[in-house]
Amino acid sequence: MITTAFAYISLLLIVAGTLRLLEAKTQWRIFTYLPAIVALYFLVMVLSSIGVWQNTDAINTTYSAVKSNVLPAMIFLMLLTADLRQIRKLGGKLLLAFLAASVSIGIAFTVAFTLFQSWLLPDAWKTLAALSGSWMGGTGNMVAVQLALDVSDASMGYTLLIDSIDYSLWVMLLLALVPYASRFNQWTGADAGLLEKVGAELEKQAKQTSSLDETSSMLFLLALSFVVSTLCQTLAATLPSGAFFTATAWTVTLVTILGVAAALTPIKRLYGASELSTIMLYLIVALIASRANFAELTAAPVYIITGFVILLIHGLLMLVIAKISKLDLFTCGIASLANIGGVASAPILAAAYSRALIPVGVLMALLGYIVGTGGGLLVGKILSVIAV
**100-122 pLDDT tens trace:** 999 999 999 999 999 998 888 88
35-90 pLDDT, tens digit each: 787 788 788 888 988 889 988 999 999 988 998 899 889 888 888 877 667 667 66
Most trustworthy range by pLDDT among 98-102, 189-193, 209-213, 369-373 = 98-102
**Helix, strand or coil for residue 270?**
coil
Model confidence at 239, pLDDT cuts 50, 70, 90, reads confident
Q: What is the pLDDT of residue 235?
A: 93
| The predicted structure's pLDDT at residue 214 | 87
2 in helix, strand or coil?
A: strand
What pLDDT digit, counting tens, does each position of 349-361 carry? 876 776 667 667 7
Could you give the CA distance from residue 130 to residue 149 in angstroms, rounded to a whole number?
Answer: 8
Lowest mean pLDDT among 166-180, 196-210, 245-259, 300-314: 196-210
Q: Which residue has the higher pLDDT, 119 or 171?
A: 119
Residue at 57: amino acid letter: D
Q: Say which residues have a Cβ less than 8 Å from residue 27's Cβ, sequence separation at least 6.
A: none
User: Is 50 exceeded by the pLDDT of residue 238?
Assistant: yes
* Percent share of the chain, pLDDT over 90: 31
Any idea which of 105-119, 175-189, 309-323 has the lowest mean pLDDT?
175-189
Beta bridge partners of residue 2, listed in sequence order: 53
Q: Which residues sit opposite 53 in a β-bridge?
A: 2
Quote the pLDDT of residue 203: 56
Mean pLDDT of the chain: 83
Q: Which residues of 355-368 are buried (b: 16+ CB within 10 A; e: fewer)?
A: ebbbbbbbbbbbbb
In the predicted model, is pLDDT for residue 206 greater than 50?
A: no
- The answer to whether 48 and 289 have CB atoms below 8 angstroms apart is yes
